[in-house]
Chains A and B, each alone.
Chain A
Amino acid sequence: MKPFTYERPADVTEALAMVAAAPGARFLAGGTNLVDLMKLQIEQPTHLVDVSRLPLGQIEDTAEGGLRLGATTTNSQVAADGKVRARYPALAQAILSGASGQLRNKATTAGNLLQRTRCAYFYDTTKPCNKRQPGAGCAAIGGIYANTAIFGASKACIATHPSDMAVALSALDAQVEIAGPDGQARAIPLDDVHRLPGETPHIETTLEPGEMITAVVLPPPPSGGQIYRKARERASYAFAIGSVAVAGGKVALGAVAHKPWRARAAEQALAGGASPAEAMAAEMASAQPDGHNDFKLKLMARLGAACLTTTGAGDDQ
């Protein structure tokens, strides 16, 4: 690790000020991704502001009938919560399908959203990567690596976002609350948090420098079934090679794009009376595999259709 200094703020205002005051500063929450990347010197913060003890660790009812998940709620805490399990089972399933018990005990809601890709070439510091070094090139394109994007990729980057939780949050139409260093606060749809890579894959989210996620807000659960299903190369404790979240008539796909991929073409087809297979075919029509990841076309079509059949999405159309 490169040397860094460390501070522990008392509240959100102080945390924002600490990061604003120190160029190269980063927020540290659970650290399960950031500390790992610091060991590899892929991340080299000069200052860490430890937000893990801020009073953002609560799960609260909202006036609208939803839930507010504080930014530093742990993955374990959210997955174990009775209201989450009863009303947002797709979210509980998604969280429980990710990482290990030890990691979920540390990893936080906000940190999960802001984790970096697990693209093998992002981690291989002997190879060029436009995320690590803008303009260096992308070794994953044409490389020997299959867990890459089939939607929304660019000539600069074909990495995927690795989160399971965020895929369920996308299908559940979650909002993300953000605080900025000037004291302003805003809320944006989860779908607007992550960017497609374009020419600047090193800019992964729409958060401005120094901004901080303070909560994720779930609207009341939609009518209809929910499910999260994940395909991976072993039965447990592995990142997805493809995943599907369904909540009512909303569908999101994981491990297929630089962000949780909201399957709006599938949703429109379902609303128009399409069968699960037809709805997924409508979504996959715009997929652009690169050779190594061609398998994801059939995988996602079948996984998606199975999830839509299981939840009965579209049955009432």
Chain B
Amino acid sequence: MKTSFKLNGQAASLDLDPRTTLLDALRENLGLKGSKKGCDHGQCGACTVLVNGRRINACLSLAVTHEDDEITTIEGLAQGEALHPVQAAFLEQDAFQCGYCTPGQICSTIGMLKEAADGWASLVTEDLTADTVLTDAEIRERMSGNLCRCSAYPQILAAIRSAGGVA
């Protein structure tokens, strides 16, 4: 089935079996291996990409449903040699060990910062009508869909805190 979308700013056209997930299309059809397949069931967040600016699990989304969408993966974040500020923050804070979850953590962070900038609340937001303040508790709750089995969470938190507001 013919499917076209914009991937990291470039037009992409594919002829796909409808069963193909967005994650498999990115990795197997388009050769972008940055987005990772961890659990393949929406439980670990390693496959997180941005679709029209919002973070989603690419493993649970059929590629054919993304006609005309704008998809951003970890490969599309840097401007040439200049890293995206969230990428730079993860490097600066040493926010990984094995690195497998990192592309998902970074894409999820960018989506999360946009959500916070848009005033979205979280479960730990005490006053649902107040402005969003990204405390450590808020960051932890909002990032709970991204697991790190090396448990680099303190450094991930530090990276997100230092990158807050720049996405």
Residues of A within 8 A of B (CB): 1, 3-6, 8, 28, 31-32, 35-36, 39, 48, 50, 52, 76, 79-80, 82, 85-86, 89, 92-93, 96-97, 99-103, 105-106, 235-237
Instruction: Report whether B55 and A101 are in contact in the complex, using a CB–CB cutoff of 8 Å.
Output: yes
**Complex A-B, nearest 9 residue pairs according to Cβ-Cβ distance, in ascending order:** A100-B145, A236-B144, A237-B144, A85-B128, A6-B18, A96-B123, A80-B120, A1-B19, A105-B54
Q: Chain A residue with minimal CB distance to B18?
A: A6
Contacting residues of chain B (114-167) with chain A, CB-CB under 8 angstroms: 115, 118-123, 125, 128-129, 140-146
Tell me the complex Cα distance, A108–B113, Å. Answer: 22
Instruction: Report whether B61 and A35 are in contact in the complex, using a CB–CB cutoff of 8 Å.
Output: yes
Residue-wise interface mask of B (29-43) relative to A, using a CB-CB cutoff of 8 A (1 in contact, 0 not): 000000000001110
A-B contact pairs, 30 of them (CB 8 A): A1-B19, A4-B18, A6-B64, A28-B62, A32-B57, A35-B21, A36-B41, A48-B18, A50-B65, A76-B54, A79-B120, A79-B121, A82-B129, A85-B129, A86-B128, A89-B128, A93-B128, A96-B123, A99-B145, A100-B42, A100-B146, A102-B56, A103-B57, A103-B145, A105-B54, A105-B55, A105-B111, A106-B57, A106-B61, A237-B144
Tell me the complex Cα distance, A39–B121, Å. Answer: 32
Instruction: Report whether B45 and A6 are in contact in the complex, using a CB–CB cutoff of 8 Å.
Output: no
Tell me the complex Cα distance, A89–B123, Å. Answer: 11
Of listed B1, B115, B121, B146, residue having the most chain A CB within 10 A: B121
Whether B112 is near chain A, meaning CB under 8 Å from some CB there, is: yes
Residues of B within 8 A of A106 (CB): 56-57, 60-61
Instruction: Report whether B144 and A35 are in contact in the complex, using a CB–CB cutoff of 8 Å.
Output: no
Instruction: Report whether A3 and B140 are in contact in the complex, using a CB–CB cutoff of 8 Å.
Output: no
Contacting residues of chain B (50-105) with chain A, CB-CB under 8 angstroms: 54-57, 60-62, 64-65, 67
Partner of B48, one of A76, A92, A96, A102: A102
Instruction: Report whether A102 and B145 are in contact in the complex, using a CB–CB cutoff of 8 Å.
Output: yes
Least CB distance, B137 to chain A, in whole angstroms: 10
Instruction: Report whether A31 and B108 are in contact in the complex, using a CB–CB cutoff of 8 Å.
Output: no
Partner of B145, one of A1, A5, A31, A237: A237
Known: A3-B19, A8-B67. 7 other contacts (CB 8 A): A3-B17, A32-B57, A36-B60, A80-B120, A100-B144, A103-B42, A105-B56
Of listed A100, A103, A105, residue having the most chain B CB within 10 A: A100
Least CB distance, B116 to chain A, in whole angstroms: 10
Q: Chain A residue with minimal CB distance to B112?
A: A101
Instruction: Report whether A5 and B56 are in contact in the complex, using a CB–CB cutoff of 8 Å.
Output: no
A-B contact count (CB 8 A): 103
Instruction: Report whether A32 and B42 are in contact in the complex, using a CB–CB cutoff of 8 Å.
Output: yes
Tell me the complex Cα distance, A27–B142, Å. Answer: 29
Least CB distance, B54 to chain A, in whole angstroms: 5
Residues of A within 8 A of B108 (CB): 101-102
Instruction: Report whether A80 and B121 are in contact in the complex, using a CB–CB cutoff of 8 Å.
Output: yes
Partner of B121, one of A92, A102, A105: A92
Residues of B within 8 A of A76 (CB): 54, 115, 120
Residues of A within 8 A of B111 (CB): 101-102, 105
Residues of B within 8 A of A5 (CB): 18
Instruction: Report whether B42 and A236 are in contact in the complex, using a CB–CB cutoff of 8 Å.
Output: no
Least CB distance, A48 to chain B, in whole angstroms: 7
Partner of A92, one of B57, B65, B128, B145: B128
Least CB distance, A28 to chain B, in whole angstroms: 7
Least CB distance, B131 to chain A, in whole angstroms: 12
Instruction: Report whether B140 and A236 are in contact in the complex, using a CB–CB cutoff of 8 Å.
Output: yes
Least CB distance, A296 to chain B, in whole angstroms: 22
Tell me the complex Cα distance, A82–B41, Å. Answer: 31
Residues of B within 8 A of A97 (CB): 123
Instruction: Report whether A35 and B62 are in contact in the complex, using a CB–CB cutoff of 8 Å.
Output: yes
Given contacts A6-B1, A89-B128, A101-B112, contact A32 B123 (CB under 8 A): no
Residues of A within 8 A of B1 (CB): 6
Tell me the complex Cα distance, A102–B123, Å. Answer: 14
Instruction: Report whether A36 and B42 are in contact in the complex, using a CB–CB cutoff of 8 Å.
Output: yes
Least CB distance, A36 to chain B, in whole angstroms: 5
Tell me the complex Cα distance, A103–B55, Å. Answer: 9
Instruction: Report whether A52 and B65 are in contact in the complex, using a CB–CB cutoff of 8 Å.
Output: yes
Partner of A101, one of B17, B41, B145: B145
